[in-house]
Structure 1
Amino acid sequence: MFKSTINICSSNIHHITLVRNFGKHNKKFLYNDGIKVQNIIYYPRENCPQNIPQTTEPSKLFKVRRIKPLKGCPYWEKRILRDLGLYESNAIAVVKNIPENNARLWKIKHLIEILPIIFSYGEPIESDINYTFLKEDGECVVIKELQKRKLRDNRLEAAINLTKKKETMDGETLRKDSRLKWLNPW
């Protein structure tokens, strides 16, 4: 630790010594104390092995949602958001997990929320596009082809059975019944 001192003297002021310390910052962790897992160095608390994440396969896609306003953001952050399709408020985009996109997401990480997309029922193929939806928690649900046909057949049979029943009410009877229930609900 080095010290530099400055002595200030004048006729009416007492002798003042200013001290400024030079030296290295005291680091909490030494650089060689970390545990390396897949090119990422972890510094666990009190050398606990349970703090180290298990090796899992990374997600292929991310669900990205903008959560902060654009007011006051620099133009380069606005440009990245516009390129990703997140310029409107609460917009959602699906982004590939590749290094180029990860670098862009890192620059705007304070403006967005990132969730990995999980394919619980298998990845969709080209014909499954109309029968695929994404949940709020990042789970992608795909309805497979066999289930689609079964659902279509069940719906068709239910519609045919409903039209053949004689106990069903027509539109005029439903309107009168609804009006009576509105006027006298008890």
Structure 2
Amino acid sequence: MRNPAMLRRGLVGVAAAAAVLAAYLVITPSSEVPPSSAATQLADQRAATAPDDVAVDVVHAFYRSLQAKDIEAFAALWTPDAVYRVPVTPEGAPGQTVGRDAIVSSLREFFALFGDTRFTWQPEPMSDPQRAMATWTLDIQLRTGGTYQNRGVAIFQLKDGKISDFTEYFDTAAFLNAFGRA
């Protein structure tokens, strides 16, 4: 039977070595890492499992269509049976909309209220190549006067290169300030 104190010291040593290796991998430029190193093996493994860019491309197309208020381009991004989820909603607002036609119809109603529309977004691939997330901000001049400014995060699930499930979290107080009670 092993001595527990020695086992702990051994585990601490392994953890320290792993931390040093991780720091080395993070701060050493790839041109300075010898080809046979663990860093090269890790980079090769990441490249082999890196998410496909399709999901990130869809995120970019999604926000470009919103910024341009291009309803046809927006509609083309969704599967017919897509689900749009907003888990945290103002009282009385639906928590989800099902089907491309219903999603597009809802957005069309909002587009009628929007003047100048500015979005910023930052997509992030996920380990599943059919998923991506994005953080976003928006600044919209409302045709009825005033502005709507908000920020949030969205999670995109794709099926055959189209959005099949979309979950969005945003500042509901900002929404209510711009549009009143649902």
- Fold-level match, TM-score > 0.5? no
Higher radius of gyration, 1 or 2: 1
- For the aligned pair, the TM-score class normalised by the smaller chain equals under 0.3
- Which has the higher relative contact order, 1 or 2, with Cα contacts under 8 A spaced 6 or more apart? 2
What is the TM-score when the length of structure 1 is the normalising length? 0.23
Q: Which has the higher strand share?
A: 2
What is the TM-score when the length of structure 2 is the normalising length? 0.23
Q: Which has the higher helix share?
A: 2
